[in-house]
Structure 1
């Protein structure tokens, strides 16, 4: 049986909008107990249990005061008690403190609600599944609008910066607009470091993305991922719903196609018990508050520089690709899209070549027109009559 304090805390947390599962985790009881207490008009009364006195009893008020002052280290409290004359063991101290740990202020999980169009929460998850006949780790980026819970999921092979930015580009396209702010965890694709004074240094590429779309970049405090609890919850939702329905995929394109179909026909139509509305219904209120998308999407392709050899080839990821002969000996810029298209730009920024990325086993990738000037520069071969050699032999 829970205490009277637990009863009142359950009532208070529920009035603040906390979910039953969060209340149960904080109090340290089952969800069934939380529902039973919520249905009661007053704390339940029962026969008080007889309890033996303990050496710790005289010191419990001091321990409670330490906990109220956010001192939760049992060993530190034990040493303080010994200085005050406590003769018991440290085990009694730990057993007294342990049930109270869920009540720490830092463990609060009451939902913070945002206004329509104000915030998007981003997070990555991963799951093992079959793609193109091979079991592999699939990374899923989940982007949730804070007000409506309308969300987008995009799958890719990696969680690097380029895939992180592409997941947001896809989400903005899906929503038809951009939120005022984007809250991320501390992945290096977005955050370089947190200073002790609370200042956040964002990745330069992430700031370029933010400037392109006009949103404000925000990051969770270190060691507090529950700050973006909406999207953390949705990562689990995708794993336990979508990936239970679908177990294998022909390609990442096929996987993302099924994800979008599932979002539109199932996930956005689920009933949100707290609001008694679906995400699709709440999104109708939120969508007009989103910022307009720019005319062009942010370029998420990989960027690098290469030096063109005198044979008019460049090396990219272990294979060689042809470029026009006039680029021989020059530096060129390359861009590789996430779906494997290689584009080459000359020193003026003009596109000069385009290839599909290929495995080294497929051989060098050559466009014949690139090398025509090289063949024209080759000296012509002289042709002589064989009679000259016949006279020498005679």
Structure 2
């Protein structure tokens, strides 16, 4: 294909300089057939302009337009049938994700291109885009570029991602931060958008960057906005006020339905979700998914960007650190509340039940709710700690909280929820040795609280070797005392004391029996 400048050169040499087609061919190297084509076409178009309407802009445009070629009949060289099949596979995969509610995790053209390159195919990005464009049409939105000072602004938002966790499909919430200056991205996955998770992700982000941005931008999420004072004024929640006071940052809210006012993080939610979870969306646990997300973000933040002079987001963050606010020790992210203990010695948190000692029935306890655990206090003393449950109407029971009640009602132990959730080792001990004597098992649990499960288990194993059918709590206690150095020395002290008192009593008897005193002393020594 010749360019517009070559077309101009052919026309001027022929019509201005009077050169023949052969001479132009010799000077430019362009074939005579092509030269003849453009000379004839020029004469026809010029004559049409002179004979037609002077205002016919279309004819004039064709007269001066750059050369064009019809490539519709060309044979594909790079876009092979194998590559087309792979592109169709990715398009079908996107359609499947869209139909199952995972539309925001679809692969874009650049992702499909990257996958093809990773598979070893030799093809250009433009070829992939041109082919896919036959199936999809997109309208692009105009954006106004902003300039930000180092350490000035970061943006926060929630998004969601569809994942399969431990074989079950779940909707997982993703909290994300993006630095406005260099697009440094941080994200973490949670089960919900409650306040404790909102606070937790702030602390983790500030700890990662070793500092705090001067201003954080939010939309009108309920964990940040308590109420609308007017259409443009909002009142922040108490927890956000405390967090802002502790770290020293200012906050700003977007206008209603104006997510573009924090466009960096809006784009980042989609970008992170696509880059991380379009390739993998099945995990054994949420912790594993978070570790995978962390590794993916490290790679994304290390990529150089053209619009930042080939600097990566991580490089720009290093430049921003001198301008960040001072890094503070981790803030306590717990959501707190006061709860009444019901008749089952449990408190209800987010529709799930957690046990406390049974002597607190009817009283109030103070709860500190973290993303992964729950701490319960009474009169400023820690009384229970549970792993956080995200199921529906689940019960988290610690059998040690019910020892007093089970002593009074030993028959209730066998089918209780506490028994079902008890340590498997304890369940095995109960079913092997204590099904006929549950009250004795309660004494064993108290002994385990003093000595530890491992020690009791080893003692039971020794007793089973001697006589598997005669294991009971009294024998376990006796064997524990023999093995306990403190118990042994205490027994020795008691034995010595008894011997001394016995000798004193025997000496008194010896004095009473004066005639046989010598013989009595000899017998006492033998004893």
- Contact 1:342–1:356, Cα closer than 8 Å, also in 2: yes
Cα 1:121–1:311, aligned 2, differ >3 Å: closer, same or farther?
closer
Cα distance in 2 for residues equivalent to 1:314 and 1:49: 80
Cα distance in 1 for residues equivalent to 2:226 and 2:146: 26
1:144 is aligned, of 166, 178, 187, to 178
1:334 is aligned, of 367, 375, 397, to 367
Show the counterpart of 1:133. 167
1:118 partnered with 2:118:
no
- Contact 1:129–1:136, Cα closer than 8 Å, also in 2: yes
Show the counterpart of 1:284. 318
1:366 partnered with 2:398:
yes
Show the counterpart of 1:352. 383
Cα distance in 1 for residues equivalent to 2:187 and 2:351: 32
Unaligned runs of 5+ in 2: 1-54, 60-138, 410-527
2:250 is aligned, of 189, 194, 216, to 216
Secondary structure in 1 matching 2:222: coil
Cα distance in 2 for residues equivalent to 1:361 and 1:139: 21
Deviation per CA, 1:160-207: give whole Å up to 9, x if none: 333222222221122111111110111111123444473221122221
Structure possessing the higher radius of gyration over alpha carbons? 2
Cα drift, residue 268 of structure 1: 0.7
Cα distance in 1 for residues equivalent to 2:393 and 2:142: 56
Cα drift, residue 331 of structure 1: 0.9
Task: Give the TM-score normalised by the residue count of structure 2.
Answer: 0.47
Cα distance in 1 for residues equivalent to 2:269 and 2:56: 45
Show the counterpart of 1:204. 238
The aligned runs of 1:1-394 (5 Å cut-off) are 48=57, 109-196=143-230, 198-264=232-298, 266-276=299-309, 277-299=311-333, 301-309=334-342, 312-316=345-349, 320-325=353-358, 327-339=360-372, 341-346=373-378, 348-357=379-388, 365-368=397-400, 370-371=401-402
Cα distance in 2 for residues equivalent to 1:362 and 1:195: 39
Cα distance in 1 for residues equivalent to 2:202 and 2:181: 17
Which has the larger strand fraction? 1
Cα drift, residue 258 of structure 1: 1.0
How many residues align? The count is 273
Unaligned runs of 5+ in 1: 1-45, 51-101, 379-394
Task: Give the TM-score normalised by the residue count of structure 1.
Answer: 0.62
Cα 1:332–1:117, aligned 2, differ >3 Å: closer, same or farther?
same
Secondary structure in 1 matching 2:57: coil
Instruction: Give the superposed CA RMSD.
Output: 3.0
Secondary structure in 2 matching 1:281: helix
Structure with larger RCO (C-alpha < 8 A, sep 6+)? 1
Cα distance in 2 for residues equivalent to 1:225 and 1:255: 27
Cα distance in 2 for residues equivalent to 1:113 and 1:166: 29
Which has the larger helix fraction? 2
Cα distance in 1 for residues equivalent to 2:231 and 2:406: 64
Cα 1:319–1:185, aligned 2, differ >3 Å: closer, same or farther?
closer
